[in-house]
A = this chain, B = another copy of it.
Amino acid sequence: MCQIDIMSDLKQRRAEEKEQRRETLIDAAERVFANAGFDAATMEEVARVARVSRALVYLYFKNKDELHCAVCERALRLLHERFLSAAASAGRGYDKVVALGRAYMAFAEEFPCYFMALSRFEARAPETVVEGSLEHHLIDCGRAVHQVTVDCLLHGVRDGSIRADLEDPLLAALSLWAFTHGLIQLMHSKKHFFSQVGISTARFAEYAIDFAMRGLHPRAAKSA
């Protein structure tokens, strides 16, 4: 018994250290990705920043892609927190949803590296996802994020601030996600275009949020 306890104690400590090492590597990866950009980043540089050998990085992550997924997972966890805070910050469902949109925008501005990682992930071809893989876990994280939106939508339908004929709130949540994500991506990649044409990104953001939210207004027009 005692022996087993000691064993499992040791094992646990080892596991914790291993986890910490893993986090350190992701820290390094973030810094390198943010600094050099995704394509230009090399495993060599990640290892150098983490002050370990390159081979060690491969021991923790199969390849650059898996490292990318690890960064995305962090991003989604953080975004999930932000979403929960945002949802709690407003009273009516409608206002909660607006808060979510703003939260995503603030998130993208505060952590451009995270947003770029997610953006990159969403632009990938739909590979067949292996069951136990890190990528599969990512999908669950994404689901949790979407669930926050779904809950806010349902809340809004109940309190009457959002139209009741939404059909499936998941469809609405995904639509909103697609909209917001596309929006930030556009604002981010076309920065120069905006400044050139004289559009302030803040104004565009406000405009687009208003635009999107019209899809949720309770008494939408029947016309057209």
Contact = CB atoms under 8 A, between A and B. Distances in A.
User: Chain A interface secondary structure, helix, strand, loop or mixed?
Assistant: helix
Contact of A178 (B121, B170, B175, B208): B208
Contact of A214 (B177, B182, B217): B217
Sorting the interface of chain A by its residue count into under 10, 10 to 19, 20 to 34 or 35 or more gives 35 or more
A213 interface: yes
In the assembly, how many copies of this chain are there? 2
Given A170-B199, A223-B219, A178 B189 contact: no
Interface string A63-105: 0000000000000000000000000000000100000000000
Contacts of A116: 123, 125
A133 interface: no
Interface in A172-224: 172, 174-175, 177-183, 185-186, 188-193, 197, 199, 203-204, 207-208, 211-221, 223-224
